[in-house]
Amino acid sequence: MTHAIGTTVDRPFPEVLESTRSALADQGFGILTEIDLAATLKAKLDADLPPQVILGACRPPLALAALGAEPSIGVLLPCNVVVRSVDDATTVVEAMDPDAMVSVTGNEALAEVAADARTRLTSALAAVAH
């Protein structure tokens, strides 16, 4: 099993970042955190990276259901969605595969929640790709 699901988009980073936020919202996800990884690493380590932002996406009903099945699942929440520039015209969008929650914990009670989250994230990624 892979740890991520994703898509590569032939559009510039700023446009794809906005499309990703919108597509996640359309699937019921809110953005709890936003980390500009390139800016952070530039400030802390003077490292030059292409634009890359980590969005901490959360759909509260899914988070509540996951916590009900596995009280310590909070260490894997929110679901990180990464938008990163490959070049001026190409952007990659990747999300943690929610099925990894089941694999990491070994708790099959999370399978239904993970499947719902995966369907919603896959739909959001498909919307960004088109």
Q: CATH no. for residue 70?
A: 3.30.310.70
The DSSP code sequence of 79-110 is: EEEEEEEEETTEEEEEEE-THHHHHHH--GGG
The SS3 of residue 64 is helix
Range of the domain at 93: 4-129
Q: What is the pLDDT along the chain (130 residues), one digit of tens a residue?
A: 578 999 999 999 999 999 999 999 999 999 999 999 999 999 999 999 999 999 999 999 999 999 999 999 999 999 999 999 999 999 999 999 999 888 989 999 999 999 999 999 999 999 999 8
Number of structural domains in the chain: 1
